[in-house]
Amino acid sequence: MSPDPPPEPSPDQSAELARRDQNNAWNAFGLVASGVTVWGGVGWLVSEWLDNRIYLMFGILVGAAAALYLVWVRYGRA
Amino acid sequence: MSAWILAAEASEEFHAPGPADFEFPPIFGEDGFLTKPMLIIIVGTALIALLFYLATRRADVVPGKLQFAGEGVYGFVRNQIAADAIGREGIKYVPYLATLFVFIAVLNIAGIVPFVQFPATSLIAIPLFLALISWVIFNYVGIKRQGLGGYFTNMLFPPGVPKAIYPLLSPIEFMSTVVFRPITLTLRLTFNMFAGHLVLLLCILGGEFLLFEVQGVIGFAAGGVSLLFGIVMTFFEGFIQLLQAYVFTLLSAVYIGGALTHEH
């Protein structure tokens, strides 16, 4: 929240930042896929148990939302 | 169209390529255990060893052609993969990553080498085993760097999150890092090679069938187009094969890099 703009990164730092960005893109994709699978899987199990497919959809949406939040927590706020 | 159907009925039926084309009988006798994919792995490994031995045997300041090629591949892995994905510490992992890249690339490329023409990496055991090696390495590196507790704490509990949400987030992190990484590494490589090989089989065997069995105007026209497309796809497949070797190696490096420096 400081009023000063951040200083220009040195060439070494900007290479490091580019490296981070690339890695984060791969990892973010993995997290979203994982979120949908994990909580979608839980939703599917509950659906099978209660014989109502709404829980599968609910699980997938919760998983996607949680994973996107996780991506933001991990990589969104530098 | 009717001529084509008539002709097709008249001749032998075309068997579309499928998973059965990935099962090979033993080469020597019925009880032999050596199959074509195993032979590809053995010869491929020997070839890699031989080429790198020759490339580095008389290393010179002014490199010869082979030394230049060997150093080019190694330099590519070091600069484009290790330095890119791991950073300064990446230099330690270049030997593993370069081996991984060259091994996968050679087994992939076997899919378009004339008379060999089978990508050994389309059999799931090979990518699975390589993925498990990468899995062991990045987990070991992470535990060694951050400690057993630290590694899993950093993995499961990202800082700055309300505690109540951890039950929702931690399973995602755990599955993503520990379970899905080796699975996706394996499946990405396996099925890229599997599907690519099927496409080539379909184009080339289908073209051959149209040319030699169906014949007629349509048979020759469609067969010619199919074979031509098969040639185009062979070059495209070569690109995919190198790309997949790169992706597998890059992701292994990304995972190692992530284990070394946990993000905040």
Looking at the complex, report in whole angstroms how far the Cα of residue A68 sits from the nearest Cα belonging to chain B.
Answer: 10
Q: What is the DSSP string of A24-65?
A: HHHHHHHHHHHHHHHHHHHHHHHHHHHT-THHHHHHHHHHHH
Q: How far is CA B1 from the centre of its chain?
A: 40
Task: Return the structure tokens found at B220.
Answer: 């020759």
Task: Return the structure tokens found at A56.
Answer: 């599968």
pLDDT of A50 strictly over 90: yes
B168 and A CB contact within 8 Å? yes
Cα–Cα distances in Å, from B63 out to A5, B55, B66?
49, 9, 8
State the ipTM, two decimals: 0.75
Domain ranges, ordered by start, for chain B: 2-260
State residue A74's pLDDT score: 84
* Residues B60, B63, B67, B73, CA torsion sign: positive
> Residues A4-39: pLDDT tens digits?
555 565 666 676 677 777 778 888 888 899 999 999
Select the residue of A19, A33, A70 nearest B169 (Cβ to Cβ).
A70
A66–B168 C-beta distance less than 8 A: yes
Query: What are the phi and psi torsion angles at A5 (to 5°)?
Result: -70, 150
Per-residue pLDDT of chain B (264 residues; tens, 9 = 90+): 455 555 545 556 788 888 888 988 888 877 778 899 999 999 999 999 999 898 888 777 777 888 888 889 999 999 999 988 888 888 999 999 999 999 999 999 999 999 899 999 999 999 999 999 999 999 999 999 999 999 998 888 888 888 888 998 999 999 999 999 999 999 999 999 999 999 999 999 999 999 888 888 888 899 999 999 999 999 999 999 999 999 999 999 999 998 988 654
**CB-based contact B155:B138 (threshold 8 Å):** no
**CB-based contact B240:B132 (threshold 8 Å):** no
CB neighbour burial string for B218-248, b if at least 16 within 10 angstroms, e if fewer: bbeebbeebbebbeebbeebbebbeebbbbb
B169–A75 C-beta distance less than 8 A: no
- Between A53 and B61, whose confidence is greater? A53
